Amino acid sequence: DQQVKQNSPSLSVQEGRISILNCDYTNSMFDYFLWYKKYPAEGPTFLISISSIKDKNEDGRFTVFLNKSAKHLSLHIVPSQPGDSAVYFCAAGTGANNLFFGTGTRLTVIP
Protein backbone atom coordinates (compact mmCIF):
# COMPACT_ATOMS: atom_id res chain seq x y z
CA ASP A 1 0.00 0.00 0.00
CA GLN A 2 1.20 3.51 -0.77
CA GLN A 3 2.78 5.15 2.26
CA VAL A 4 2.96 8.51 0.50
CA LYS A 5 -0.01 9.76 -1.48
CA GLN A 6 -0.48 12.63 -3.85
CA ASN A 7 -4.19 12.60 -4.55
CA SER A 8 -4.19 15.25 -7.26
CA PRO A 9 -2.67 13.91 -10.46
CA SER A 10 -2.75 17.36 -12.06
CA LEU A 11 -3.08 21.04 -11.26
CA SER A 12 -3.38 24.11 -13.49
CA VAL A 13 -2.58 27.60 -12.26
CA GLN A 14 -2.36 31.01 -13.88
CA GLU A 15 1.06 32.61 -14.08
CA GLY A 16 1.69 34.85 -11.08
CA ARG A 17 -0.76 33.03 -8.83
CA ILE A 18 0.05 30.59 -6.04
CA SER A 19 0.43 26.87 -6.73
CA ILE A 20 -0.30 24.54 -3.82
CA LEU A 21 0.65 20.89 -4.13
CA ASN A 22 -0.42 18.48 -1.43
CA CYS A 23 0.93 15.22 -0.04
CA ASP A 24 -0.22 12.83 2.68
CA TYR A 25 1.73 10.11 4.42
CA THR A 26 0.72 7.26 6.68
CA ASN A 27 3.77 6.44 8.79
CA SER A 28 4.12 8.59 11.91
CA MET A 29 7.79 7.57 12.16
CA PHE A 30 8.69 9.53 9.04
CA ASP A 31 10.90 12.46 9.95
CA TYR A 32 12.35 13.64 6.64
CA PHE A 33 10.31 15.07 3.79
CA LEU A 34 11.30 16.31 0.35
CA TRP A 35 9.88 17.64 -2.87
CA TYR A 36 11.37 16.80 -6.24
CA LYS A 37 10.61 18.36 -9.60
CA LYS A 38 10.72 16.38 -12.83
CA TYR A 39 10.78 17.59 -16.42
CA PRO A 40 10.01 15.18 -19.29
CA ALA A 41 12.88 12.85 -20.23
CA GLU A 42 14.89 13.94 -17.20
CA GLY A 43 15.36 12.54 -13.73
CA PRO A 44 13.75 14.09 -10.66
CA THR A 45 15.73 17.01 -9.24
CA PHE A 46 15.71 17.96 -5.58
CA LEU A 47 13.72 21.08 -4.80
CA ILE A 48 13.29 21.53 -1.05
CA SER A 49 13.21 19.47 2.13
CA ILE A 50 12.02 19.72 5.71
CA SER A 51 12.70 17.70 8.84
CA SER A 52 10.10 16.86 11.43
CA ILE A 53 11.48 19.36 13.93
CA LYS A 54 10.22 22.21 11.75
CA ASP A 55 6.83 23.05 10.32
CA LYS A 56 7.96 25.36 7.54
CA ASN A 57 10.95 25.75 5.27
CA GLU A 58 11.33 28.45 2.67
CA ASP A 59 13.63 28.77 -0.33
CA GLY A 60 12.88 31.68 -2.59
CA ARG A 61 9.51 31.18 -4.25
CA PHE A 62 9.16 27.69 -2.74
CA THR A 63 7.84 26.96 0.75
CA VAL A 64 7.16 23.56 2.25
CA PHE A 65 4.73 23.23 5.15
CA LEU A 66 4.56 20.20 7.42
CA ASN A 67 1.57 19.30 9.60
CA LYS A 68 2.71 16.29 11.62
CA SER A 69 -0.58 15.74 13.41
CA ALA A 70 -2.39 15.51 10.08
CA LYS A 71 0.50 13.67 8.39
CA HIS A 72 0.31 16.20 5.62
CA LEU A 73 2.78 18.36 3.77
CA SER A 74 2.33 20.89 1.06
CA LEU A 75 4.48 22.83 -1.37
CA HIS A 76 3.61 26.42 -2.14
CA ILE A 77 5.04 28.14 -5.18
CA VAL A 78 4.49 31.87 -5.37
CA PRO A 79 4.44 33.49 -7.78
CA SER A 80 4.07 30.59 -10.22
CA GLN A 81 5.99 30.84 -13.48
CA PRO A 82 5.60 28.91 -16.76
CA GLY A 83 9.00 27.29 -16.14
CA ASP A 84 7.55 25.69 -13.01
CA SER A 85 5.41 23.43 -15.22
CA ALA A 86 6.62 19.93 -14.37
CA VAL A 87 5.71 16.84 -12.37
CA TYR A 88 6.28 17.28 -8.64
CA PHE A 89 7.02 14.27 -6.44
CA CYS A 90 6.66 14.26 -2.70
CA ALA A 91 8.92 11.92 -0.72
CA ALA A 92 8.96 10.97 2.95
CA GLY A 93 10.93 8.61 5.12
CA THR A 94 13.17 8.08 8.11
CA GLY A 95 16.25 9.41 6.36
CA ALA A 96 17.75 9.97 2.96
CA ASN A 97 18.36 6.25 2.52
CA ASN A 98 14.79 5.23 3.30
CA LEU A 99 12.40 7.30 1.20
CA PHE A 100 8.95 6.58 -0.13
CA PHE A 101 7.71 8.57 -3.09
CA GLY A 102 4.25 9.62 -4.15
CA THR A 103 2.88 9.17 -7.66
CA GLY A 104 3.42 12.80 -8.60
CA THR A 105 1.32 15.85 -9.46
CA ARG A 106 1.61 17.43 -12.91
CA LEU A 107 1.63 21.22 -12.54
CA THR A 108 0.80 23.38 -15.53
CA VAL A 109 1.34 27.12 -15.20
CA ILE A 110 -0.66 28.96 -17.82
CA PRO A 111 0.97 32.13 -19.20
Partner 1 sequence: DAGVIQSPRHEVTEMGQEVTLRCKPISGHNSLFWYRQTMMRGLELLIYFNNNVPIDDSGMPEDRFSAKMPNASFSTLKIQPSEPRDSAVYFCASTGTHSNQPQHFGDGTRLSIL
Residue of 8, 12, 26, 51 that binds partner 1 (CB under 8 A): 51
**CA dist 73 to 15, 26, 43, 60, 76, Å?**
23, 12, 22, 18, 10
| Contact pattern from residue 15 through residue 44 relative to partner 1, giving x for each residue in contact according to CB under 8 A and a dash for the rest | -----------------x-x-x----xxxx
Which is closer to partner 1, CB of 32 or CB of 65?
A: 32
Side-chain half-sphere exposure of 98, counting CA atoms within 13 A? 8
CB of 71 to partner 1, least distance (A): 17
Nearest CB to partner 1, comparing residues 41 and 111: 41
Stretch that binds partner 1, among 13-21, 55-63, 78-86, 100-108 (CB under 8 A): 100-108
d(CA 76, CA 82): 15
CA-CA distance, 96 to 78, in Å (whole number)?
Answer: 27
Q: DSSP state, 39? A: -
Q: Which of 7, 46, 55, 58 binds partner 1 (CB under 8 A)?
A: 46
Report strand pairing: 10-14 vs 105-110.
Answer: parallel
Give me the residues that bind partner 1 (CB under 8 A), please: 2, 6, 32, 34, 36, 41-46, 49, 51, 89, 91, 95-104
